[in-house]
């Protein structure tokens, strides 16, 4: 993509929306402490987060849960915007969970407002959060267009609408605290607004959160044509077009740009002006989408090229997984026949035990197998990406001269054949009966 096309993409995006808060979609609370990937808290967090998407879709867009025992208890709450369908809600939460785990890998508390529109909201913590008001962090967005009518008159109408929706949302049920409304303006435009709280809040806390969100927007973005405020416990949005999922596409009349001076010789008809504005907006949106697509394709090609040229550099990036040859020799009793588990076209598998008592399975690649460093590297990367509770976990690898070894966790008793066979069969093994 050329520099000029990148500039166009940036300007188009800037023309649609200006962000007044960092663009990332999650917040990691670093002050609450961290955990290790093998800790009970990590397992409880994984179980809690994996349960959010199916349950929130089945329970009308709100779900709260917890798992574990103190000090490893994990609490979580998720909810979707009130006009979101069950399918979209579940998909949004699923995507947000994956993003949250990547961006906040070992924080004991985090918050996400999802990656799409309409948004979804996820909180988890090592302390109770159900029914507890939380207003930080705050994310604010606003449209770049300015109000064209008298600002004081507009403010009065805007304030009456938004304040009317606060008690309506606050007095909602324990499953849904959501209110929408609209009101007409003197210049034939319409204000649309939405207020929503996490349903576990009390009416007073919900009203307090929404009032704070409305004041936040009023202080930062007064005079703009629309905007949104996201807080962990509530959301507030308004605009000059109907943005709800039941009617997500703005009608042409709502896309009127800021007032323009009339042409000196003749007037432009309202219908002509609307047609021009709609055409320009559609063109800019298509241009933006096209630019982003080309940029993404270029990034993918560059990534593939780097992967092809990297050679053993990917092994260097996995140095933290590398075992010493002497450690594996000692663990497997010098790869004795008594420790042998299986063999195949690519080599043999041995059982071993580390000094700390941990049992392992060591795959020793045959020097006659024809598998070189590149294939060995690919296998490490592939298996490392396949980590799952239903697969044997890759612990690391070893390179010693011509010897190439992979080290896996050892699953004892009858489950050994089930797990190891499925994984080793995928990479070329058969077991000794």
Where are the strands (E) in 241-380, listed by range?
Answer: 340-344, 347-353, 359-365
Residue 295 in any domain: the answer is no
Residue 121 in any domain: the answer is yes
User: Residue 76 sits in a domain of what CATH number?
Assistant: 3.30.430.20
The pLDDT value given to residue 15? 35
84 Cβ contact partners less than 8 Å away, ≥ 6 residues apart: 61, 92, 118, 120, 245
**pTM, two decimal places:** 0.54
17 and 166 co-located in one domain: yes
Cα–Cα distance between 408 and 394 in angstroms, integer? 5
Highest mean pLDDT among 143-157, 234-248, 412-426: 143-157
pLDDT surpassing 70 at residue 382? no
The pLDDT value given to residue 228? 94
Cα–Cα distance between 76 and 51 in angstroms, integer? 10
15 and 30 co-located in one domain: no
What's the whole-number average pLDDT of the chain?
79
Cα–Cα distance between 42 and 50 in angstroms, integer? 12
The pLDDT value given to residue 151? 94
Alpha-carbon dihedral angle through residues 413, 414, 420, 423, given to the nearest 10 degrees: -140
Report residue 323's pLDDT band, with 50, 70 and 90 as the boundaries.
Answer: confident
Which is more confidently placed, 232 or 346?
232
Beta bridge partners of 362: 350, 407
367 and 327 co-located in one domain: yes
176 and 235 co-located in one domain: yes
14 and 142 co-located in one domain: yes
Residue 265 in any domain: the answer is no
The pLDDT value given to residue 425? 42
The pLDDT value given to residue 291? 80
Mean pLDDT for 221-232 is: 93
Inter-helix orientation angle 151-170/203-221, to 10°: 160
70 and 108 co-located in one domain: yes
Residue 296 in any domain: the answer is no
User: Residue 330 sits in a domain of what CATH number?
Assistant: 3.30.200.20
Which is more confidently placed, 319 or 114?
114
End-of-domain residue from the set 199, 225, 248: 248
6 and 151 co-located in one domain: yes
pLDDT surpassing 60 at residue 145? yes
The pLDDT value given to residue 319? 67
Residues spanned by the domain of 398: 319-431
Residue 71 in any domain: the answer is yes
Which is more confidently placed, 12 or 71?
71
In this structure, what DSSP letter does residue 265 have? S
Task: Give the percent of the chain with pLDDT over 90.
Answer: 48
pLDDT surpassing 70 at residue 306? no
Residue 340 in marked binding region: no
Mean pLDDT for 294-302 is: 73
Q: How many domains does the chain have?
A: 3
The pLDDT value given to residue 255? 29
423 and 325 co-located in one domain: yes
The residue written with tokens 């690391």 in the block is: 396
pLDDT surpassing 90 at residue 276? no
pLDDT tens figures, 72-108: 999 999 999 999 999 999 999 999 999 999 999 999 9
End-of-domain residue from the set 248, 276, 295: 248
Inter-helix orientation angle 40-58/86-103, to 10°: 160
Other CB atoms within 10 A of residue 402 CB:
7
Residue 48 in any domain: the answer is yes
159 and 107 co-located in one domain: no
Residue 366 in any domain: the answer is yes
pLDDT tens figures, 251-262: 333 323 333 333
209 and 354 co-located in one domain: no
Cα–Cα distance between 167 and 231 in angstroms, integer? 18
3 and 34 co-located in one domain: no
């Amino acid at each position: 993509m050329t520099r000029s096309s990148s500039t166009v993409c940036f300007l188009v995006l800037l023309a649609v929306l200006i962000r007044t808060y960092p663009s990332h979609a999650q917040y990691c609370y670093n002050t609450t402490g961290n955990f290790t990937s093998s800790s009970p808290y990590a397992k409880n967090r994984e179980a809690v987060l994996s349960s959010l998407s199916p349950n929130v879709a089945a329970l009308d867009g709100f779900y709260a849960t917890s798992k574990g025992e103190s000090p490893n208890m994990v609490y979580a709450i998720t909810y979707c915007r009130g006009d979101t369908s069950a399918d979209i809600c579940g998909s949004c939460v699923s995507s947000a969970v994956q993003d949250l785990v990547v961006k906040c890998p070992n924080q004991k508390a985090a918050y996400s407002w999802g990656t799409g529109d309409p948004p979804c909201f996820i909180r988890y913590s090592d302390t109770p959060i159900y029914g507890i008001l939380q207003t930080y962090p705050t994310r604010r967005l606003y449209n770049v267009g300015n109000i064209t009518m008298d600002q004081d008159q507009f403010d009065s109408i805007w304030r009456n609408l938004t304040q009317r929706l606060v008690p309506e949302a606050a007095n909602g049920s324990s499953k849904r605290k959501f209110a929408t409304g609209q009101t007409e303006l003197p210049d034939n435009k319409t204000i649309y607004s939405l207020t929503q709280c996490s349903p576990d809040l009390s009416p007073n806390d919900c009203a307090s959160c929404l009032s704070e969100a409305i004041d936040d927007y009023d202080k930062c973005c007064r005079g703009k044509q629309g905007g949104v405020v996201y807080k962990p416990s509530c959301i507030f949005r308004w605009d000059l077009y109907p943005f709800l999922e039941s009617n997500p596409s703005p009608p042409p009349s709502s896309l009127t740009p800021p007032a323009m001076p009339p042409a000196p010789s003749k007037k432009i008809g309202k219908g002509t002006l609307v047609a021009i504005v709609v055409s320009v907006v559609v063109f800019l949106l298509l241009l933006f989408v096209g630019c982003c697509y080309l940029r993404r394709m270029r990034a993918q090609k560059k990534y593939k090229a780097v992967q092809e040229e990297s050679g053993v550099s990917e092994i260097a990036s996995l140095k933290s997984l590398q075992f010493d040859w002497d450690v594996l020799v000692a663990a497997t009793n010098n790869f004795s026949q008594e420790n042998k588990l299986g063999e195949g076209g690519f080599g043999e598998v041995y059982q071993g035990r580390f000094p700390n008592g941990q049992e392992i399975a060591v795959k020793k690649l045959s020097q006659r197998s024809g598998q070189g460093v590149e294939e060995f590297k690919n296998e490490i990367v592939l298996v490392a990406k396949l980590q799952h509770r239903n697969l044997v976990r890759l612990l690391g690898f070893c390179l010693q001269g011509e010897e190439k070894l992979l080290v896996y966790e050892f699953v004892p008793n009858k489950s050994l054949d089930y797990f190891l066979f499925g994984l080793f069969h995928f990479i070329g093994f058969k077991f000794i009966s």
